Amino acid sequence: MENLEKGRFFGISKKQFNLNGLTIVDSEFALYTDCPWHYHHNAHFALTTKGNLVETHRTEQFQLSAGSLLYNHSQEPHCNSKYSDLVSALHIDIDAMWFKMYDFNPSRIEGVHLIRDPIIKNIFHRLFIEVRSFDNASNLSIESMVLQSVAKISQAKDIESSGKPEWVRKTKDLLYDRYNENLSLRDIALAINLHPGYLCQQFPIHFHCNFGDFIRKIKIEKAIQLILCQPQLSLTGIAYSCGFSDQSHFIRLFKKNTGITPLAFRRMIKV
Final residue in a domain of this structure, among 146, 161, 176: 161
Tell whether the torsion through CA atoms of 181, 187, 192 and 197 is positive or negative: positive
Q: Which residues of the chain have pLDDT under 50?
A: 161-162
Domain CATH code at residue 102? 2.60.120.10
Does 110 share its domain with 23?
yes
**Considering the entire predicted model, what is its pTM?**
0.85
Does 87 share its domain with 24?
yes
> Smallest Cα–Cα separation from 108: which of 118, 120, 99?
99
DSSP E strands in the chain: the ranges are 2-4, 12-19, 22-30, 34-40, 43-50, 52-57, 61-65, 69-72, 78-81, 86-94, 112-114
Does 133 share its domain with 176?
no
DSSP E strands in 106-228: the ranges are 112-114
Does 154 share its domain with 248?
no
Q: In Å, how far from its chain's centre is CA 104?
A: 21
Final residue in a domain of this structure, among 141, 161, 181: 161
Final residue in a domain of this structure, among 131, 161, 191: 161
**Angle separating helix axes 138-161 and 118-132, nearest 10 degrees:** 160
For the chain, what is the domain count?
A: 2
pLDDT in tens, 114-154: 998 888 999 999 999 999 888 888 899 999 999 999 988 88
Does 85 share its domain with 209?
no
Does 182 share its domain with 151?
no
Does 41 share its domain with 132?
yes
Q: What's the rounded Cα separation, in Å, for the pair 29 and 33?
A: 9
Q: CA 157, 163, 165, 168: dihedral to nearest 10 degrees?
A: 10
Does 101 share its domain with 119?
yes
Domain that includes residue 83, residue range: 2-161
The whole-number pLDDT of residue 163 equals 56
**Angle separating helix axes 196-207 and 166-177, nearest 10 degrees:** 90
Contact 65, 52 (CB under 8 A): yes
Does 172 share its domain with 142?
no
